[in-house]
Structure 1
Amino acid sequence: EDPQKRRKMPREKEGVGEAIRHLKQQTAPLPKVPVTPDSDDALIKSGWPWRGGIKFNNVSMRYNPISPLVLKNLSVAVPPGTTLGIVGRTGSGKSSLLLSLFRLVEIEEGGGGSIEIDGVDIRSVGLKSLRESLSIIPQDPVLFAGSVMYNLDATGKASPEDAWKALEA
């Protein structure tokens, strides 16, 4: 066997190993978002969100530790009662904005950024409480398997009368 070839093999193996490590990092599942304890009970019982004002303060976000930032130092305030449409070209951050608001992906730690609803940092609110407090109307309508009532209120909290009022509005 060629001695030169034997010297080359470890370097090739290192290259393959590095490529495999890089591939694993790129395809690793996103870390699970931590669920805060039930410390938000008092907040939710107080009727939060009270008015619905949303503030993104210097928010940066990426999908995994080695990917580029998809939101970089974003600051925007949405006053209470505002109906907002988010538009933009592909890759402009529309989905990333919503994913961070619903905490499906966490914003960058250590950057001083925060997302607040009525002055409350959403990281201090449990995921279940946060997501039950938010609504989104997608561009393309989606029907879930189930009844019309279930599609109107998947949480089961609305009365049939409220559902009819929503349909008539």
Structure 2
Amino acid sequence: MISVTPLSLLYLVPTAVVYFMIQPHYLHACRQMRRLDNLARAPVLNQAAEIRLGAQVIVTFNQVDTFRDRVRDVIDDHIRVWAPYVMLNPWLTLRLQLLSSVLQLLSASLLLWLNTSPSTLGLAMNFLIQITSNLNSFVQMRATLEADITSAERVWSYAANVPESQRAEEQRPAPSWPDMPVINFESYSASYAAGGVPCLRDLSFSIAAGEHVAVVGRTGAGKSSLSLALLRALEQGDSYNGRITIDGLDISKICLADLRNRITFLPQEPFVFAGTIRHNLDFAGTETDERLQEALSACQMSRFFNLEPAQNLLDYPVSDSG
């Protein structure tokens, strides 16, 4: 179009400038609304997963109406955020189309006022329509990209967090620790965030070595918080007293990496990663083949595989989720 007439610059440059002036107003609102939408959607998904896993318990204890009200509340909260977010795109589209129409009208009027030949006028208007259409698509795609990238932004924010520093008073436990893994909670209190509401308050109990203990409670009672407390994943500020000891050592004074390497959790639903049986049994690669085969035999898993020689069993491939 520029090769047809230098007058194209009269509307090409202002068009691009005005288009990019509109973007910041839309993008600022779109990013914030997308973040709110992601936050409001999480309770809906959590509630759906909780109902799916506990449907029989909900029906047995006649709590259908209670959970129906909960679902209605979280969906209403999500819609309050989702509806304005959805309306942002028509808001942008309307303004871009109005701007395109105004620019096309002004350009046509200018070319007619300059007595431009009909062929040149038609060609210029044709290219102007194409340019405004491409600018519309570019602005909307850029806006969509910035809105969608907020999900990745949340992941980056967690990845960019300052790693937990090793405190000067932390000590390295003996290689054999814990010999007698007696767990003691002594007036222990903690919260998920510094200065937040305590999720565990003034707990005191003891679990002997080899003892089997069941922790029972409703959702949010703090069952999973006990596990996180053993890993020092909770905040225990200066305002909270108490401590946790394992085999007589205060875990707040133990090197965090050593502490977490000595504690093993067995989830109700096992996680199987793509790779080999060896990789799933021994992520660190520190155990011998004999130890791994003994573990499989103890779990009565080796009888499901008829591979020769025996150590090939450890290299048996598995896919995601088994």
TM-score by length of 2: 0.40
Which residue does 2:166 correspond to in 1? 35
Which residue does 2:254 correspond to in 1? 125
Structure holding more helix per residue = 2
What is the one-letter code of the residue matched to 1:44?
A: A
Alignment CA distance shift 1:53-1:68 (3 Å): same
What is the one-letter code of the residue matched to 1:133?
A: R
Q: 1:139 aligns to what SS in structure 2?
A: coil
What is the one-letter code of the residue matched to 1:118?
A: D
When the two chains are superposed, the root-mean-square deviation of aligned CA atoms in Å is: 2.7
Which residue does 1:92 correspond to in 2? 221
Which residue does 1:104 correspond to in 2? 233
d(CA) in 2 for partners of 1:108, 1:63: 11
Q: Describe how 1:1-169 pairs up with structure 2 within 5 A.
A: 33-37=164-168, 40-41=171-172, 43-45=173-175, 47-169=176-298
Alignment CA distance shift 1:31-1:53 (3 Å): farther
8 Å Cα contact 1:100/1:107 also seen in 2: no
Larger C-alpha radius of gyration, 1 or 2?
Answer: 2
Q: 1:40 aligns to what SS in structure 2?
A: coil
Unaligned runs of 5+ in 2: 1-156, 299-322
d(CA) in 2 for partners of 1:58, 1:31: 29
Q: Which moved more, 1:30-39 or 1:69-78?
A: 30-39
8 Å Cα contact 2:194/2:237 also seen in 1: no
Unaligned runs of 5+ in 1: 1-27
8 Å Cα contact 1:60/1:108 also seen in 2: no
Which residue does 1:7 correspond to in 2? none
Give the C-alpha shift of residue 128 in structure 1. Answer: 0.8
8 Å Cα contact 2:190/2:240 also seen in 1: no
Q: Deviations over 1:11-61 (max 9, x none)?
A: xxxxxxxxxxxxxxxxx97986442359533x223x111111111111111
d(CA) in 1 for partners of 2:273, 2:196: 33
Aligned length: 142
d(CA) in 2 for partners of 1:131, 1:96: 15
Q: 2:260 aligns to what SS in structure 1?
A: helix
Q: Deviations over 1:109-131 (max 9, x none)?
A: 34321010011000111111001
Alignment CA distance shift 1:112-1:38 (3 Å): closer
d(CA) in 2 for partners of 1:68, 1:105: 12
8 Å Cα contact 1:33/1:105 also seen in 2: no
Identity among equivalent pairs (%): 34
TM-score by length of 1: 0.72
Q: 2:174 aligns to what SS in structure 1?
A: helix
Structure holding more strand per residue = 1
